[in-house]
Amino acid sequence: MRIESVEPFLLHVPVTSGGIADGAHALEKWGAPGVRITTACGRVGTGYTGTHAHLPTDRAIALLIAEAYGPLLIGRDPREVRALWSDLAHHPPIRWVGRAGLTHLALAAIDVALWDLKAQEADQPLWRLLGGAADTRLEAYDTDGGWLDRDDARLVDEARLRTDQGYRSVKIKVGSEEPARDLRRVEAVREALPDGARLMVDANGSWDRARALEVGRRLAEFDVTWIEEPIAFDDLPGHVALARALSTPIALGEQLYTTDAFRDFIAADAVHYVQADAVRLAGVTEWWTVADLAHAHGKPVVPHIGDMMQVHLHLAWAHPACTLLEHIPWMRSCFVEPATVQDGRFVRPERPGAGTALRDEALERWGVRV
Query: Annotated active-site positions, please?
Result: 173, 304
* Least spacing, CB of residue 53 vs ligand 0YR, in Å: 11
3 or 281, CB closer to Mg ion?
Answer: 281
* Least spacing, CB of residue 252 vs Mg ion, in Å: 8
User: Which residues here bind ligand 0YR, judged by CB under 6 A?
Assistant: 22, 25, 27, 143, 202, 204, 254, 304
Rule CB under 5 A: is residue 202 a binding residue for Mg ion? Answer: yes
* Least spacing, CB of residue 85 vs ligand 0YR, in Å: 24
* Least spacing, CB of residue 254 vs ligand 0YR, in Å: 6
From the list ligand 0YR, Mg ion, none, which binds 118 (C-beta under 5 to 8 Å, kind-based)?
none
Rule CB under 5 A: is residue 326 a binding residue for Mg ion? Answer: no
Give the interface segment with Mg ion, choosing from 13-21, 102-110, 194-202, 255-263 (CB under 5 A): 194-202
From the list ligand 0YR, Mg ion, none, which binds 25 (C-beta under 5 to 8 Å, kind-based)?
ligand 0YR
37 or 243, CB closer to Mg ion?
Answer: 243
Rule CB under 5 A: is residue 277 a binding residue for Mg ion? Answer: no
22 or 182, CB closer to ligand 0YR?
Answer: 22
* Least spacing, CB of residue 266 vs ligand 0YR, in Å: 19
Pairing of strands 29-39, 44-48: antiparallel
8 Å CB contact between 110 and 37: yes
46 or 143, CB closer to Mg ion?
Answer: 143
Where does this chain bind Mg ion (CB under 5 A)? 202, 228
